[in-house]
Amino acid sequence: MTEETPNQNEAAESAGDADTSENPFAGLEAELDRLKQEVLYAQAETQNVRRRLEKEKTDATAYAVTAFARDMLSVADNLARALAAIPADLRENASLKPLLTGIEMTGKELETVFGRHGIAKIEAIGAKLDPNKHQAIMEIESTDAEPGTIVHEMQAGYVIKDRLLRPAMVGVAKAGTPAPKVDLQA
């Protein structure tokens, strides 16, 4: 059996006290680190929610007129059809000239209003078929245009800002059969 001296007992007790005093601080520090991390995650989540809501608000403002704009496209189509249906001889008639000018000015004003609200016409003729912008209605044999190129537009397409409002309804070129060669020597 060994006898412990009073100095050894005091050292052992102070070491035990140090262990018990360090453990609560270590536990508290770990808890503090965990809570700091949770606060950082909560702040990041709040910031993400705020950004998401701001984007949704911006989108709602930018695209609020989408349904109304779609309805107005049919008005624009009918106005263009009315102008296209007027024969050339009636266009020269002096009594109808003011009426034609009024209809043309109405069409231009409608285009201006569309432009002011971010509604733009999709240029289709001569472009490659893009299923994100165009709806192919028919294929047209063509030796002049490359297959997949738009050669006819039945209805204009429109975008509002960066979103498709209505696809252009188009006719697309397909490889045509070349004209038969005729032997003139025979």
What pLDDT sits at residue 23? 73
Task: Tell me the HSE value of 118 on the side-chain side, using a 13 A CA sphere.
Answer: 13
The pTM assigned to this predicted structure is 0.63
Pinpoint the alpha helices (H) of the chain: 6-62, 66-85, 88-91, 97-116
Give the pLDDT band of residue 105 (cuts 50, 70, 90). very high
- Provide the 10 A C-beta neighbour count for residue 163: 11
Burial of 119 (0-12, 13-18, 19+ CB in 10 A): buried
Strand order in the sheet with 134-142: 134-142, 168-175, 150-155
Residue 22 has pLDDT above 60, yes or no: no
Mean pLDDT taken over the chain: 84
- Residues 133-175 have pLDDT tens digits of 999 999 988 888 888 899 999 999 999 988 999 999 999 998 7
What pLDDT sits at residue 15? 47
3-state secondary structure of 124: coil
* End-to-end CA gap in the chain: 134
Burial of 51 (0-12, 13-18, 19+ CB in 10 A): exposed
158 close to 120: Cβ distance less than 8 angstroms: yes
Q: For 64-96, give the secondary structure using H, E and C.
A: CCHHHHHHHHHHHHHHHHHHHHCCHHHHCCCCC
Compare 63 and 137 and report the one with higher pLDDT. 137
